[in-house]
Amino acid sequence: MAGCTSRCRQGVLKLIQSFQRLVSGTLTKDKVDDELEMTMVCHRPEGLEQLEAQTNFSKQELQVLYRGFKNECPSGVVNEETFKHIYAQFFPHGDASTYAHYLFRAFDTTNNGSIKFEEFVMGLSTLLRGTVRDKLEWTFHLYDINRDGFISKEEMTDIVRAIYDMMGKYTYPALKGDVPKQHVDAFFQKMDKNKDGVVTLEEFVLACQEDETMMRSMQLFENVM
């Protein structure tokens, strides 16, 4: 069991890295064709055409991604432990476990403790190729930890603190204990238009669209892809 879990971790990490090259264009069409020829796709997700219609990826990209996902994770799902180990490799100088936990929950749209290929691809499609509105809505749901449709100061503080923990010694400027709270207070002052102590989706989107710096700060997931 431990060997299978380790293989899955390594496989999903390779999958993400291959996906980065697909998105950036450094993985060429010929390379994609070569990779498809090297390994036969023994399993295909049902409704591949539906996934193509629902995401911003081509059928060929979905085939490459699915092949890697299934070959390395035969169970077809990624659990939270695996997800955390993947993020630990991206951020070796900090503690990524808490942020990875929140990110995992955002991908786990069925809330069953695992991420299926379809959920993984749908999330990545939104974050990497979606509209600005799509990305902001996804990010809002990441911050809405208790999923009540609002972001509280406590929820935003938890996420911001998790990001500082993840960045570790590379956090700049040097982190002091009250920095996350200061950032959250500044964000809330701009976002909470009606001063009711919580931020709605529309308040969140509007504030980010009006402030480019806030937009970059809120769309945190893109910075680690």
For 75-95, what is each residue's pLDDT tens digit? 888 889 988 887 788 888 889
Contact 11, 65 (CB under 8 A): no
Q: What is the pTM of this model?
A: 0.76
CA-CA distance, 140 to 162, in Å (whole number)? Answer: 16
> What is the maximum span of the chain, computed from C-alpha positions, in angstroms?
58
Q: What per-residue confidence (pLDDT) applies to 106?
A: 93
42 domain residue, yes or no: no
Q: Are residues 158 and 204 in the same domain?
A: yes
Within-domain flag for 206: yes
DSSP-assigned letter for residue 25: T
Asked which of 79, 107, 129 is the last residue of a domain, the reply is: 129
Residues 87 and 181 in one domain: no
- Whether residue 117 lies inside any domain: the answer is yes
Domain containing residue 114: 11-19+49-129
Whether residues 148 and 213 share a domain: the answer is yes
User: Which segment, 33-37, 169-173, 193-197, is predicted with the most confidence on average?
Assistant: 193-197
Domain boundary among 129, 162, 188: 129
Provide long-range contacts, Cβ within 8 A and 24+ apart, for 105-113.
Answer: 105/145, 106/138, 106/141, 106/142, 107/83, 113/79, 113/80
User: What is the per-residue pLDDT across 137-154, written as a single tens digit (0 to 9) for each?
Assistant: 999 999 999 999 999 999
> What is the CATH number for 89?
1.10.238.10
Give the pLDDT score at 3: 47
